[in-house]
Amino acid sequence: MNKTDSLNVLNCATLPANPVVAVAGATGAVGREMLLVLEQRGFPAAEVRALASARSAGQRINYNGSGASANNDSNEGFLEVQEMTSESFQGVDIALFSAGASVSENMRTAVVKSGAVMIDNSSAFRMHDDVPLVVPEVNPEAAFTHNGVIANPNCSTIQMVVALAPLAQLAPIKRIVVSTYQAASGAGAKAMDELYSQTQQFLNNEPLLIQNFAHQIAFNCIPQIDIFLDDGSTKEEWKMVVETKKIFNMPDIKVAANCVRVPVLRCHAEMINVEFSAPVSVQAARCALGAANGIQLIDDPNNKLYPMPGLLAGSDDVYVGRLHADTTVEHGLAFWCVADQIRKGAALNAVQIAELLLRGQVSG
């Protein structure tokens, strides 16, 4: 971990009302979604730069936001992808990164020296002591103390902590047990394509081409996401444990995670069991979740209503259902939650952090 003697408090007055925004990794699934989110939310950018590797330079990406014509000499409504270099960030105020950990590490110095704030979607800096790990609905105040880099948490962590935050206001959380059902898109655009192609191959009784996963993903579940660690857990599971502790600033909270890849295109689902230090009724939890920002309750089991990944692609909120008591512990609740991990689990969360910085204030 990196450690600095002191952290710099962001002077929000240094961010212009209409900042220049760079999207690094603009041709990837999350990068494209970042551009879409900026456009859909009307982010007031003076200019938007689409950056990617040299092999992607020259591509055109649909974009109709305020920055569409600022760096594009061809047609209105498009951005031309530029090769990302150390000089790409001159004049940039906010750099949204989804280009992989090694690229983020290599470009950090150039971004920070240019005076921009890097909002990074990779795992490169999440556990660095000098880098805040931010979910705006949960710990917005953390965004205002940084050294030029703010980290986006792992997608599966984001949706879980959004759902847990209002419950933690009812009573301190002692232990979390989470089982995830993670969509193919969590492994990128090529992984989504593989699910499509394998499904067709399976239905046509053809050999399955396996490239992006350890095993077939079509009509299968794979109980491995990322590499295995010495204790038998996977790195994805480790991320959920340590990131949750950091976001909540609760190093003693107990978290057990089990992460599984499932044949769903978009939207991760999670079954979460929570043990509190004091009684929390189902009704109190329902009221707290229903009043929370960024959460939608779909919880009517008598009418078979609950969140489902296949129906929520492209949505922005975290959806919660199947809320009930967990009677295996003294003060327990269980619930099911679903979120689009490309949106809230990545692109949207990053843009929300940028909006938070632009507002220059902490809001619930």
Give the active site residues.
155, 268
C-alpha torsion angle, residues 225, 161, 324, 285 (rounded to 10): 180
Question: What sign results for the dihedral spanned by CA atoms 56, 62, 64, 70?
Answer: positive
* CB neighbourhood size of 276 (10 A): 20
Reported in sequence order, the residue ranges of 59-121 that DSSP labels E, i.e. its strands, are 60-62, 78-80, 82-83, 94-97, 117-120
Which three-class secondary structure state does DSSP give residue 256?
strand
The count of residues in the chain is 364
Would you state the structure tokens that stand for residue 124, as one six-digit string? Answer: 């490169």
Question: What sign results for the dihedral spanned by CA atoms 282, 287, 288, 290?
Answer: positive
Triad 123, 125, 126: Cα angle to 5°: 70
